[in-house]
């Protein structure tokens, strides 16, 4: 029987711990960490994500600001706001909520955020996230690694299979696993014999976006399964890329969907902001 990796409980504990850390940091350095989120336009899903980020940032005591810009904002106007925030010493983290309206080049926006304030981890991705660079990793991949570590199992030396090679999850999480000294395989839509490969994996991270494509007979007994996928199943209910019902009895550890990786992502955004703050206050 697989044990559940409870993302809700783990993120709640993290928020608690970070709230205490923020109080202590304010006493030590005389200011709280600052996170500014910019949202351009009125995409309804983005509004919900930004609201959740704001609520959780406030919960841990960050100085949290949301800058709302109209749909018709030009690229130059957005870049000017980012430049102002880059130069503001009270702002440790800047996040531009994606997608941006079509008149704005997403890549120009990502490139404009100061690397030491890039809490989304885009810059870190380019540098391979080696600790010496000081840039943070993207939130969802970082959440996956954190969840594996909460099991108490080691990552080093294990065979980790990442299913999906997307820019936001698959590729960066594979790099993070390599940094943890796992032996990493990356599968994708052209991979042959996914089942055969999966049956040799001690850790599986599924980031595909296809309901239940990893089934119990593809799972190595005792494996750790991290399900990033968020899908609507045939029954209309939310489900992951891993078929929980058949995989859970075979695995040692498994994340549920919902309640696994999802709740951890914003917690990691806050953690990234604290890490950027620490880099700023400790700068010689
Ligand atoms: P993505 O960029 O579209 O990547 C999907 C990957 O899956 C691609 O590399 C694709 O391969 C691969 N793939 C497609 N069909 C496959 C198959 N049958 N077998 C093996 N691989 C297959 O997607 P993403 O942005 O990484 O997101 C993936 C999932 O994670 C989505 O469900 C998304 O909603 C979810 N997500 C969740 C969170 C969270 O906080 N929980 C955060 C981000 C994303 P090719 O490269 O060959 O096309």
Please give the pLDDT value at position 91: 98
Percent of the chain past pLDDT 90, that is, above it, reads 92
- Find out whether the beta carbon of 273 lies less than 6 Å from any atom of ligand 1: no
DSSP 41-97: S--HHHHHHHHHHHHHHHHTT-EEEEEEE-TT--HHHHHHHHHHHHT-TT--EEEEP
11 lines ligand 1 (CB under 6 A): no
Query: What pLDDT is stored for residue 124 in this prediction?
Result: 81
Instruction: Give CA–CA dist 32/26, Å, rounded.
Output: 5
Note the pLDDT of residue 168: 93
**Centre of ligand 1 from the C-alpha of residue 83, in Å:** 32
pLDDT, tens only, 243-278: 999 999 999 999 999 999 999 999 999 999 999 999
Can you read off the two tokens belonging to residue 43? 């995409």
Predicted TM-score (pTM) above 0.75:
yes
226 close to ligand 1 (CB < 6 Angstrom): no
What local confidence, expressed as pLDDT, does residue 132 receive?
64
Query: Which atom of ligand 1 lies closest to the CA of 230?
Result: 32
Query: How far, in Å, CA of 210 to CA of 234, rounded?
Result: 11
Catalytic residue list contains 53:
yes
Kindly tell me if the per-residue pLDDT of 10 is higher than 70: yes
Q: Are 199 and 210 in contact (CB under 8 A)?
A: no
pLDDT digits (tens, 9 = 90+) for 108-158: 999 999 999 999 999 888 777 766 667 899 999 999 999 999 999 999 999
Pairing mode, if any, of strands 238-239 and 231-232?
antiparallel
Smallest Cα–Cα separation from 203: which of 134, 148, 260? 148
Residue 59 pLDDT exceeds 90: yes
Q: Which of 10, 195, 208, 268 to mutate to test the pocket of ligand 1 (most atoms within 8 A of CB)?
A: 208
Catalytic residue among 92, 120, 202, 227: 120
Measured distance CA(208)–CA(64) in Å, rounded: 32
- 194 CA distance to ligand 1 centroid (A)? 15
CA separation for the pair 33, 281 (Å, rounded): 10
Cβ of 238 closer than 6 Å to ligand 1, yes or no, is no
Q: What is the SS3 assignment for 110?
A: helix
Higher pLDDT, 16 or 235: 16
C-beta of residue 61 within 8 angstroms of C-beta of residue 23:
yes
Please give the distance, rounded to the nearest whole angstrom, from the Cα atom of residue 167 to the centre of ligand 1.
9
* pLDDT score, position 128: 75
Nearest protein CA to atom 26 of ligand 1, as residue = 166
Substitution candidate for ligand 1 out of 46, 99, 163, 164 with most atoms within 8 A of CB: 164
How far away, in angstroms, is 214 Cα from ligand 1 center? 13
- Catalytic residue status for 118: no
E strands, the chain, where? 3-4, 34-40, 63-69, 93-96, 159-163, 183-187, 203-206, 224-227, 231-232, 238-239, 253-254
Percent of the chain scoring above 70 in pLDDT? 99
Q: Is the CB of 57 under 6 A from ligand 1?
A: no
Output the CA–CA distances (angstroms, integers) from residue 177 to 41, 216, 234, in the order listed: 36, 23, 32
The mean per-residue pLDDT over the stretch 39-58 comes to 95
User: How many angstroms does the Cα of residue 261 sit away from the middle of ligand 1?
Assistant: 14
* Dihedrals phi, psi of 264, to nearest 5 degrees: -80, -20
Q: What is the pLDDT of residue 220?
A: 98
* Dist CA 202 CA 219 (whole Å): 9
Ligand 1 within 6 A of CB of 269: no
pLDDT at residue 131, rounded to an integer = 60
pLDDT for the residue numbered 129: 72
Give yes or no for residue 169 CB within 6 A of ligand 1: yes
pLDDT given at position 283? 81
């Amino acid at each position: 029987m697989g044990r559940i990796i409870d993302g809700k409980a783990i993120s709640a504990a993290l928020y608690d711990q970070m709230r205490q850390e923020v109080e202590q940091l304010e006493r030590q350095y005389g200011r709280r960490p600052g996170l500014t989120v910019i949202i351009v336009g009125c995409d309804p899903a983005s509004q919900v994500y930004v609201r959740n980020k704001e609520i959780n940032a406030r919960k841990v005591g960050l100085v949290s600001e949301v800058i709302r810009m109209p749909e018709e904002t030009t690229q130059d106007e957005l870049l000017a706001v980012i430049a102002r925030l880059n130069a503001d010493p009270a702002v440790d983290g800047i996040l531009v909520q994606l997608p941006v309206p079509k008149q704005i080049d997403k890549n120009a926006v990502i490139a404009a955020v100061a690397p030491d304030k890039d809490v989304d981890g885009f810059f870190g991705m380019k540098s391979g996230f080696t600790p010496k660079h000081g840039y943070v990793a993207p939130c969802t991949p970082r959440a996956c690694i954190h969840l594996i570590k909460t099991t108490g199992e080691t990552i080093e030396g294990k065979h980790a299979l990442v299913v999906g090679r997307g820019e936001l999850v698959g590729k960066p999480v594979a790099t993070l696993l390599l940094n943890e000294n796992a032996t990493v395989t990356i599968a994708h839509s052209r991979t042959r014999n996914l089942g055969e490969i999966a049956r040799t994996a001690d850790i599986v991270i599924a980031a595909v976006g296809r309901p239940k494509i990893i089934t119990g007979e593809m799972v190595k007994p005792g494996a750790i399964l991290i399900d990033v996928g968020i899908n609507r199943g045939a029954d209309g209910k939310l489900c992951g890329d891993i078929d929980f019902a058949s995989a859970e009895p075979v695995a040692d550890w498994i994340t549920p969907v919902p309640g696994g990786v999802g709740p951890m992502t914003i917690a990691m955004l806050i953690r990234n902001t604290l890490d950027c703050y620490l880099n700023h206050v400790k700068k010689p």
